[in-house]
Amino acid sequence: MNLLRPTLLALACLALPAGASDLPSLGDASSSIVSPEQEHRLGRAWLSVLRGQIDQLSDPQLKDYVETSVYRLAETSQLEDRRLEFVLLNSPQINAFAAPGGIVGVNGGLLLHAQTEGEYASVMAHELAHLSQRHFARGVEAQQRMQVPVMAAMLAGIVAAAAGAGDAGIATIMGAQAAAIQEQRRFSRQNEQEADRIGLLNLEKAGYDPRAMPSMFERLMRQYRYDSKPPEFLLTHPVTESRIADTRNRAEQYPSQGISDSLGYQLMRARTQLMFEETPGIAAKRFRAMLDSNPRLEAAHYGLAIAHIKGGRLAEARSELNALLTKKPNDLTYNLAMIELDSAANRLSDAQQRIERVRSLYPDSYPLEQARIDLLLKQNQTKEAEVALDQLLKQRSNDPDVWYQVAEVRGLTRNIIGLHQARAEFFALVGDYDQALEQLDLAKRRASSNFPLASRIDARQQELMEEKRALDKMMR
């Protein structure tokens, strides 16, 4: 795996990107160096490189939950530009981040460690606050203001050393560097405090209990107090006693009400727990142990059913799901699990009937539409699956998982030009522009006798070439 190059990695750390001093002065007074539109372009470029180098979670239900929950928080946040893009990392380590331009990243480990929806939402509200307060652009400005005095001090040290001052000159240089580092840390602490304050406000507006934020911080501090290598989240978001006390004092000023947890969140936690267990059998033991403590725990019954499906114990899975659906026949998550079970049991007509019934209740559900496409493919209805995927692209045109499947299905239907176009979009989304341009070359050759189509492919190729040039410039 190649390492992210310095400029783009710096975006994730909200640090100064190379060449920032060359950026034009656009936008409002708080963004005289980096405009919102520049942040947007920088963020999308960074995301494409990141996607090409990390293992992602592609589970439609988990993706849909994260996207829906964050958009819900964004609606009541101070975020003005709500063009968000998401990346879910296949890692059990707790982490979440917000990069310039509306990029929101979540490790699967966040759902493992955040015990309630409120705790999970508190982390995401904090990350959205980094975006709404434009901490990246402000960080660039802070470093720009520091640059002249720091460089002057370092120059004085170099001159002193050259003039024979020896250790005194070296001390001046080291002192200037230390001052710069300290100023960066001070600005980072200010950003964290501001993100906590804005995040608490957003939690309350979105209907959550703000007390979930100090609760999450306390849990993390207890869990990793003596850990020699704390998770990335605690390295980039250091938790201290004073920070916990500050967030708790602020949270106590809000009314004691709001959402603290939900069944929907616990169902997604169960899915996530299963993803990171070594085997379905070990996961089943975990969920049985939870049920021994609380037999009425719906999320554990659901997790046990999914573990049984993965482990091939279909009759036991059906028993669990039938009990859940008897209580809640229209629950989307339980119906999706039964569709998965019927498909695994080759009861395809039962799965199809269930999909059609549930689609009338949830016509815009991405996980349900993905389940329908998967079933069409299992029924060898590839043309119908291709049509359904084309419709899905209207909602998820920036989802590399969808483009990957589109390419696969177009290959099955012998739509070779479309296959190359889909591969090009997939490669562009994961930052491999050379492969993307090569795929469009192949598509253009096959479309040479169709002038309108060839022209559209050529226009797209020109767009990707421009994106590649911009990315290469940022990575130098």
CA dist 20 and 34 (Å) reads 8
Count Cα neighbours of 189 within 13 Å in the Cβ-side half-sphere: 10
- Hey, what's the torsion of the CAs at 57, 396, 362, 321, to 10 degrees? -20
- 3-class DSSP assignment, residue 208: strand
Spacing of C-alpha 343 from chain mean position = 29
- Hey, what's the torsion of the CAs at 69, 70, 76, 77, to 10 degrees? 160
Tokens for 384? 């119908």
Active-site residue, selected from the candidate residues 127, 298, 369, 432: 127
Catalytic status, residue 127: yes
Spacing of C-alpha 105 from chain mean position = 3
CA dist 321 and 135 (Å) reads 46
CA dist 173 and 424 (Å) reads 49
Tell me: is residue 130 an annotated ligand-binding position: yes
CA dist 78 and 125 (Å) reads 10
Q: CA geometry: angle at 73 spanning 26 and 38, to 5°?
A: 15
- Read off φ and ψ for residue 254, nearest 5 degrees: -95, 155
Q: With contact defined as beta carbons under 8 Å apart, do 125 and 110 qualify?
A: no
Active-site residue, selected from the candidate residues 196, 340, 425, 467: 196
The enclosing H or E element of 332 equals helix 332-344
Tell me: is residue 126 an annotated ligand-binding position: yes
CA dist 140 and 33 (Å) reads 7
**Positive or negative torsion for Cα 105, 16, 191, 100:** negative
Q: Provide the phi-psi class of 302: left if phi over 0, else alpha when psi is between -120 and 50, else beta.
A: alpha
Catalytic status, residue 196: yes
- Read off φ and ψ for residue 391, nearest 5 degrees: -70, -40
How many Cβ atoms sit within 10 Å of the Cβ of residue 163? 10
CA dist 60 and 66 (Å) reads 10
Tell me: is residue 40 an annotated ligand-binding position: no
How many Cβ atoms sit within 10 Å of the Cβ of residue 241? 10
Q: Which residues of 259-271 are buried (b: 16+ CB within 10 A; e: fewer)?
A: bebeebbbbbbbb
The residue whose two tokens read 């020109």 is 462
Q: Which of 107, 104, 123 is nearest to 47 (CA)?
A: 104
Q: Which of 38, 40, 32, 19 is nearest to 138 (CA)?
A: 32
Q: Are strands 85-89 and 96-99 parallel, antiparallel or unpaired?
A: unpaired
Active-site residue set: 127, 196
Q: Binding site: which residues?
A: 126, 130, 192
Annotated binding-site members for Zn(2+): 126, 130, 192
